[in-house]
Amino acid sequence: MSVRAEATPNPNALKFTTDSLIFEGTNSISVMPGEESEHDIMNDLMNVDGVANVFGYQNFITVNKEFDVEWDELTPKVKEVFEKHGL
């Protein structure tokens, strides 16, 4: 499977899109600091150093980073989480 990172209008956010469905239904999922989700992938992403919050819908998850973190350092860690979950 492949995960594609796409830029968003927000320089602190990247959209990670997969070829397969991550979330069923038509509800979006967002997780802020201190929150927990019923979706393990969202919790695992929130545990990555440098991730500020996450938002997911169907086949993508948008990751917002902390201001002092560079995407070059964070993107491989985010992709590792996707791989861990078989995406």
The CB density around residue 19, as the number of other CB atoms within 10 Å, is: 10
Q: Give the fold, CATH level 3, of 3-84.
A: Ribosomal Protein S8; Chain: A, domain 1 (3.30.1370)
Q: What is the number of other CB atoms lying within 10 angstroms of the CB of residue 17?
A: 15
pLDDT band at 1 (very low <50, low <70, confident <90, very high): low
Give, in degrees to the nearest 5, the angle at Cα 30 between 53 and 5: 65
The answer to whether 59 touches 18, Cβ cutoff 8 Å, is yes
Q: What is the pLDDT of residues 22-42, one digit of tens each?
A: 999 999 999 999 999 999 999
- CA end-to-end span of the chain: 6
Could you tell me the pTM of the whole model? 0.95
What is the domain partition of the chain in residue ranges? Answer: 3-84
